[in-house]
A = this chain, B = another copy of it.
Amino acid sequence: MNDKPREDTNPAAVGHLHIATERPERFTHATPTVDDVGRHAGVSRQTVSNVLNAPHRVRPETIERVRIAINTLGYRANHHARNLRTGTSRAIAYRIPPVAGHLNSVMDTFLHELTEAVEAIGCHILLFASNDLDGEISKYWELSAQSAADGVVFSETERDDRRPGPLLERRMPFVSFGRTWGTQEHSWVDVDGRAGTRLAIDHLLAHGHRRFAWLGPRNPGVVNDEREQGVRSTIAAAGIPAADLHVVSLRDDATADRKAIADLLDGPDAPTAWVSMSDLQALTVLGELEARGIVPGRDAAVIGFDDSPVAAYAGGGLTTIRQPITAVAKTIAQLLSAQFADPNSDPQGVLLEPELIVRRTG
């Protein structure tokens, strides 16, 4: 008869998280509250709270006494109570990009750096998955309604991205990694792709190269456009005819890519300087060069993109264009922080410069 209500409740909890009713079971070490700490230090709740949130209001000796009590009892503020009262969550939502077909490691590095960067502003990352864009957008709505997240970061932007609209409407602070090239203003951080390829080409020009190849994606987007334009404009500025630049459209198929590269190498006026949109495909170029006895770094140059782990590992060190991911993450955290401090602050866009990591291949 006594456990009737529990019996009654359990079926409803199927598929949900359900903690057994006897709470003491789980909390071997009773979790102390502000009251406990206050009692121990001979002060009130609020003074303890002030020590944590507004220490300038409290007399130094009192602070010391409270601090000791906190350490003795091992007190930590309950997140939910605090967040409920203050209406914040100190959480930043991020949709983890789907795994399928991302050949670059930038997003993984970014997530790591972002986690560290938001910790510096007293927040943490709340991850969620979503199959489509609509799911992602409605998730933002939901998180906002549940006050489960104070801010949002999203990546893999596209032209006229649909995400800023709903977020702005909900007045949910957010920063995108990547421009959205839309009409609505919002904060973003991005890497200057044009500057990246310009760095690479300038470097190659300085080493005497005159015949170039740009390996871009099969379906070019805004990102590729900028990078390719950086290649073109730098070459043009050096007085080299546009015909001396070959553009290869890569596929997701190594055999096809390899053949395209081989054809170019075996054709007339083969390029000696190769710049690729990604490290992995640069490795394919290396393979083809070596197969022909052409030594990368001496007879030819190959430059990749992203400085992924393979770049440092393979081919005796691949020269590559590194995106400043740490700086991107830190800047995003700062822009978020600014929006938290003043929800009406003006949106800000920050374009960061990539860096050329010179190794052996170029």
Contacts and interface: CB of A to CB of B under 8 A. Distances in A.
* Most chain B CB atoms below 10 A, which of A128, A129, A253: A129
Nearest to A287: B287
A28 B171 contact: yes
Q: How often does this chain occur in the complex, in copies?
A: 2
A346 interface: no
B146 A86 contact: no
B119 A128 contact: yes
B96 A111 contact: yes
Contact of A96 (B84, B112, B252): B112
A9 B56 CA distance: 9
Interface of A: 8-9, 11-13, 15-20, 23, 25-29, 31, 53-57, 74-81, 83-84, 86-91, 96-99, 101-103, 105, 108-109, 111-113, 115-116, 119, 121-129, 142, 145-148, 150, 169-171, 252-255, 280, 283-284, 287, 290-291, 309-310, 313-317, 337, 340-344
A127 B115 contact: yes
Given A31-B145, A56-B11, A255 B316 contact: yes
A196 to B, nearest CB: 20
A43 B125 CA distance: 37
Contacts of A283: 283, 314
Question: Which 7 pairs between the two chains have the least Cβ-Cβ distance?
Answer: A76-B145, A12-B54, A80-B84, A125-B127, A80-B83, A80-B80, A116-B129
A23 B108 contact: no
Nearest to A98: B112
B340 A123 contact: no
Nearest to A123: B17
